[in-house]
Amino acid sequence: MVNSSKYLKATFKSRPNRFIAEVEIDGEIVIAHVPNTGRCKELLIEGATVYLMPSDNPKRKTKFSLLFVENNGALVSIYSQEANKIVYEGILNGKIKELNGYSIIKREKTVGNSRMDIYLDNPEENKDCYIEVKGVTLVEDNVAIFPDAPTERGKKHLDELIELKKKGHRSVAFFLIQHPNGNSFRPNWQTDIDFSETLTMAEKAGVEILVYKSKNSLNGNEIIGKAMEYNLEKY
């Protein structure tokens, strides 16, 4: 668990590219790494309060990572890789009832040319499960929406889940809402119709869709143990 005293409070100024942000600390402009390849343009707006994690790694190009941003009175986690960890720990701690009952719980499993985020297995009962996790930060009218930018990689993962299901494996597309104001989920038809159509196809093929929410704090993020509603219909 992260100690909140390790974070530095800063003011967001700009995002020259998807990997870095310019932020202001005590009147000085510094560069921070942004660990989220999404646009996040509704979150990373000039003047927004952000929280940085310093690094003492001399090989890093940037000294800070931008992990949290305040948005509409809420603390939002934009560390996309953290979503996998939160879901993994939620499964270990039995907080995701739909995924209980497995004796083997692993992070990452190679399938073909890709890696699924989480793999579950129960050899005694000859049942396994492949899980792909997506962190969701875009929220409109309390509805969490994914993706916030076109994602060929995301579509590819859904295609792989469909193929795994056809081969007899349990497959799950897991969406973790990392914005406290999101109370339900839908795909972003306006921004990425290919991903949205593939998600609809995946559900029809038997791929399970789970939507949960994270509780965010500078002392650590954890999953809230209740499945959320979702709607795949085109808007």
pLDDT tens-place string over residues 25-45: 999 999 999 998 888 999 999
Q: For residue 166, how many other CB atoms are within 10 A of its CB?
A: 12
Angle between helices 193-204 and 152-166 (to 10 degrees): 10
pTM above 0.75? yes
pLDDT for the residue 178: 95
Query: Is residue 136 within 8 Å of residue 209, measured between CB atoms?
Result: no
Tell me where in the chain the CATH 2.40.50.580 domain(s) lie: 4-71
CA dihedral 152, 157, 160, 161 (to 10 degrees): -140
Residue 145 Cα distances to 31, 166, 208, 222, angstroms: 28, 27, 18, 20
pLDDT of residue 115: 86
pLDDT for the residue 3: 41
CA angle 18, 13, 43 (to 5 degrees): 60
80-230 CATH: 3.40.1350.60
Q: Which residues of the chain have pLDDT under 50?
A: 1-3
Using alpha carbons, list the distances in angstroms from residue 126 to 50, 102, 121, 129, 206.
Answer: 46, 11, 8, 11, 19
Say whether the peptide bond before residue 147 is cis (omega within 30 degrees of 0): yes
Torsion sign, CA atoms 168, 192, 197, 231? positive
| pLDDT tens digit sequence for 132-165 | 999 999 999 999 999 999 999 999 999 999 999 9
Of 1.20.140.10, 2.40.50.580, 3.40.50.1000, 3.40.50.300, the CATH number of 4-71 is: 2.40.50.580
| Predicted local distance difference test score (pLDDT) of residue 2 | 39
For the chain, where do the domains classified as CATH 3.40.1350.60 start and end? 80-230
